[in-house]
Amino acid sequence: MRTRMRPLSPATSRINQMQFPPLDSNNNVSLAQDASTSLHRDFEKVHESMHAAISMNKTEILDAALDDFSEGYFGLSIENRRILLLKLAREYDLSRNQVRELMKQYLALELPSDNAEENAHEGEGSFSAFYRIERNLRQSLKPMYEILFERLNTHPGGLRFLSTMRADILSFLAEENIASVRALDSYLKEKLITWLSPANLQLLNITWDDPASLLEKIVAYEAVHPISNLLDLKRRLGVGRRCFGYLHPAIPGEPLIFIEVALMKNVAQTIQEVLWDDPPIGEHEATTALFYSISSTQPGLSGINLGKFLIKRVIDVVRRDMPGISTFATLSPIPGYMQWLLSKLGSIERSDSPFSENLMKPEEETSLLDAAEESTTGKTGMEIMRNLLSSPSHQWANSEKLSVALKTPLMRLCARYLLHEKKRGKALDSVGNFHLQNGAMIGRINWMADRSEKGLKQSAGIMVNYIYKVEHIEENAQSYFSKGRIQASEEVKIYVDEAQASLQEETKGLED
């Protein structure tokens, strides 16, 4: 989709027509000082408007303060935004002295006797002091910046602004993990989760007939498989395809998250089947709804699992509208696989590393050594694998010999990565963790499913089908959440079961 060039604004045109005298060094210093003073003045104005937005109560003054704050914030430099958010986190935090004083008062109270609880009238009087202090404690545990968040949420454009503000907070936390800013982010995230509950969201079936402004956002925010042109977009919104998005009334015309669905006879094994191969089948023939892309449009909503609600809602809608659809699955990327594998392969250079291990079976290594065209003298199979996979040209993918030799170890190691590699008890792969916590199971891993540069770089072209079995979604989600248990088909388990059996056989041989 082409980007339209907008004409210069009147302000820009006037600037271009102005004549400026040549600058000498003194002028440069003077201008720099003036600019610094102006930036400081702008920052103070925004700081003052933020304070007014928190402390003022008159509606007309409050609305003006919120407008001044949100407009002024966007005019600040990145550094001044960071300073302002740090001030918000520290200067408008809760009063811990007040909390401590109330806690002392609470601990000093004596619990009424059991008889007081039995006598309703006497019990109410005995507990009144507890109720009062507990009420005051609840209030004192709310930071003052909650007032700003609440007021912005009900202000026109405020929810979008809060999303932008949180995106900045997350960006700053990535650079420096400051406790007060982390607390600010946590509090704002909790508020956004409440305001963006499914009850407040609207599900939209996005079609080619929707406004161009909405379709442009679908093109801009598609994060998994970029939309190449208008024909590509039209096909994704046409026969045999669906696109659903969640919208919020406070952010009209812009989906917070959207999912693309292909209606198919069977679960696709390659992204080419979905995007580039033959025209889609007639919808009456479809038995499978394949989710092949899900994209969030708001960086500030990171960590808020809107996708979980979206997938379940879409499953309900498709089941209602198309009773012939009985299978719900994904064709998903594996974004962390190559990073994990190359890290493992890199450990061979550090012989004393406790993480060093032989990732290849003897027959796999022999096959790869035979297939490699380069001189293999003195090199191990793991060294060759690492060199091939880390090459930015991905030439191995165009060699039938190398592809055949790499397929077995890469598929086996991918199954291990998806099933057993974890962080804090949950799947290490981010996409895997997303679908597993939503109640899916691992159904199949697919060789050379995405031959794009991105697909080869992320996962050597391998993709995975997650299956959503409607009758087991809640059970799977609970099992994964409570025990970290990953459900998988026998087709996937056999990869790691064979590897485990082989390892046990080698161990037994050494013992003998």
Q: Residue 299 carries which DSSP code?
A: G
Active site residue 452: no
Three-state DSSP string of 222-236: CCCCCCCCHHHHHHH
Residue 360 corresponds to which tokens in the numbers above? 């290849």
On whether the CB atoms of residues 444 and 464 are closer than 8 A, the answer is yes
Cβ within 8 Å of residue 390, ≥6 positions away = 342
Range 426-430 contact pairs with CB under 8 angstroms and sequence separation of 24 or more: 426/480, 426/484, 427/486, 428/336, 428/340, 429/334, 429/335, 429/336, 429/337, 430/335, 430/336
User: Residues for the chain: how many in total?
Assistant: 512
Residue 273 corresponds to which tokens in the numbers above? 């089947």
On whether the CB atoms of residues 295 and 223 are closer than 8 A, the answer is yes
On whether the CB atoms of residues 257 and 246 are closer than 8 A, the answer is yes
Q: What is the DSSP string of 193-248?
A: HHHT-GGG-EEEE--TTS-HHHHHHHHHH--SS---SHHHHHHHTSTTEEEEEEEB
Please tell me the distance from the alpha carbon of residue 303 to that of residue 166, in angstroms, as a whole number.
11
Residue 428 corresponds to which tokens in the numbers above? 């290490």
Please tell me the distance from the alpha carbon of residue 83 to that of residue 360, in angstroms, as a whole number.
51
Tell me which of 140, 332, 367, 459 is the catalytic residue: 332
Pairing assessment for the beta strands 441-446 and 288-296 based on DSSP bridges: unpaired
Tell me which of 248, 367, 435, 459 is the catalytic residue: 435
For the purposes of burial, counting CB atoms within 10 Å of the CB of 469, is it exposed (0-12), middle (13-18) or buried (19 or more)?
middle
Q: Residue 251 carries which DSSP code?
A: B
Phi/psi region, residue 49 (left: phi>0; alpha: psi -120 to 50; beta: rest), is alpha
Please tell me the distance from the alpha carbon of residue 357 to that of residue 157, in angstroms, as a whole number.
54
Dihedral, 108, 141, 89, 189 alpha carbons, nearest 10:
150
- The identity of residue 476, as a single letter, is N
Active site residue 332: yes
**Residue 306: how many CA atoms within 13 Å on its side-chain side?**
32
- The identity of residue 270, as a single letter, is T
Please tell me the distance from the alpha carbon of residue 99 to that of residue 302, in angstroms, as a whole number.
31
- Catalytic residue list: 332, 435
